[in-house]
Amino acid sequence: MAEGFSRWLDRAETELAAQAEASARPTGWVLQVGSQALFTAMRQAFEQAQHRIWVETYILDPNGQVPELMQALNDAAQRGVEVRLLTDGFGTPQVPDEWPRQWAQSGVQWRTYKPLGPGGLWFPSRWRRLHRKLCVVDDHVAFCGGINWLDDHHDPIRQVQLAQPRFDAAVQITGPLVDKVAQVMNEVWWRLDVSSRLRQREVSAAWAAIRLRDWRSLWRQRPPQGLRTLVLRDNVSHRSDIVRAYLAAIGRARQEVWLANAFFMPAKRVQRALCVAAARGVKVRLVVQGHFEYALPYRATRHLYAPLLAAGVEIWEYHASYLHAKVAVVDERWATVGSSNLDPLSLLLAREANVVSRHPDDVRQVRQALAQAVLSGAKPIDQQALAQRRLWDRALDALTWWGVRLAVWITARSY
């Protein structure tokens, strides 16, 4: 018994020392607007990496600056850094043939989250995607946001160069929150590892991975308590965390709510929260796509314009280029940057990750970026002009809205 207590005491001391070391690290938040700023910061971090580089991205596109970033990953792997790259099977259905060969030679570990296989998205179970954009370098820095590994001037759908870069954002984080980002990334990687071994009938290897798993980490490591937190959405233990964070912040708003979303089709409770905030005198400003990539979500969002405008919500359409950001500011005390839209796909089906900050300097950075985007590239929606649109357009918007809702209901059963 004494020996067992001694082992427990040693383990507890080790954990306390690790927590003290993490809390002593300098903390920071740097908002990166656009892929050029983000990729430059990432490449610098990759070049200095000594132990690990873990990356999750929905889209990996081989144009613009991305090959330079991939070369930095290869270089790091060749000098002994553990490099993991996880892409989504729908967002990245294929990569250039030479890249997997280069990764195999350099030692980059690449996996695909839920490859589509035959039938594509016809099976609703395949709609649950990995939409997070996360990266961890050693124990020092992490990145989280909405920016894919996709050059901001490249349109992957039409295969053309954009005159203006898409508006998107991510944050570069230092401090204790890096450990939390690494933990959630490692969890998904471990699950894929076990699933892959089982599919290949390597039962003994899969069982060994399960037995060696430190299951205590699932409840021992709690999100850091502080000004910055990582908020997740998955289909197990974090099903509503992101939307609840939004609702709590909007519910406490006293001056303003600024919200920019690439795809905005929220549930009634979010719409109600925005309308109630506007009714009590809060300035609610919503920034959505005007120059759109996909007609269906654009049409569905327009179905919400009339009731929101009638409640006093300002709606601005961003026309300078594509809007892909998922950011929000409430007063001068709350801001979020991440991968989650306020739409059914993000809030019901996808794995998402947002960083929430209550630090005034962080909030000011996000607010300034939003203000600059609105001033330079957005146009307000006029309520009277909206009411004068053709009946056919209004009917098509409504039909699209209900069609999207029905499709997601079939998969998620509730929203």
Q: Of the residues 180, 326, 343, 397, which is catalytic? A: 326
Name which of 127, 108, 126, 131 is nearest 53 in CA terms.
108
Q: Single out the catalytic residue among 88, 133, 152, 153.
A: 133
Of 153, 179, 324, 362, the active-site residue reads 324
Beta-bridged to residue 258, according to DSSP, are 285, 329
User: Measured between alpha carbons, how far is 412 from 125 in angstroms, rounded to an integer?
Assistant: 9
Q: How far lies 195's CA from each of 204, 236, 299, in Å?
A: 12, 17, 38
**Which is catalytic among the residues 61, 75, 114, 138?**
138
Of 90, 357, 79, the C-alpha closest to 245 is: 357
Q: Is 268 a catalytic residue?
A: no
Residue type, 387: A
Lookup: tokens for 80: 């002994």
- The answer to whether 239 touches 368, Cβ cutoff 8 Å, is no
DSSP letters spanning 41-108: HHHHHHHH-SSEEEEEES-B--STTHHHHHHHHHHHHHTT-EEEEEEETTT-S---THHHHHHHHHT-
In 10 A of CB 205, how many CB atoms? 15
∠ CA(287), CA(66), CA(26), 5° rounding? 70
DSSP for 287-323 reads: EEESS-S-HHHHHHHHTTHHHHHHTT-EEEEE-SS-B
Q: Is 241 among the residues known to form the active site? A: no
Return the residue matching tokens 């020996």: 3
Q: What is the DSSP string of 164-204?
A: S--B-EEEEEESTHHHHHHHHHHHHHHHHHHHHHHHTT-HH
**Residues 202, 203, 208: CA angle, nearest 5 degrees:** 105
Catalytic residue status for 214: no
- Indicate if 138 belongs to the active site: yes
**Catalytic, out of 140, 155, 331, 359:** 331
Category of 405 on φ-ψ map: left (φ > 0), alpha (ψ -120 to 50) or beta: alpha
Active site residue 343: no
Strands 28-33 and 169-174: antiparallel
Question: What is the spatial distance between Cα 352 and Cα 370, in angstroms, rounded to a whole number?
Answer: 21
Active site annotation includes 131? yes
Q: Which amino acid is at 279?
A: A
Cα–Cα dist 119/138, whole Å: 39
User: Which residues are annotated as catalytic?
Assistant: 131, 133, 138, 324, 326, 331
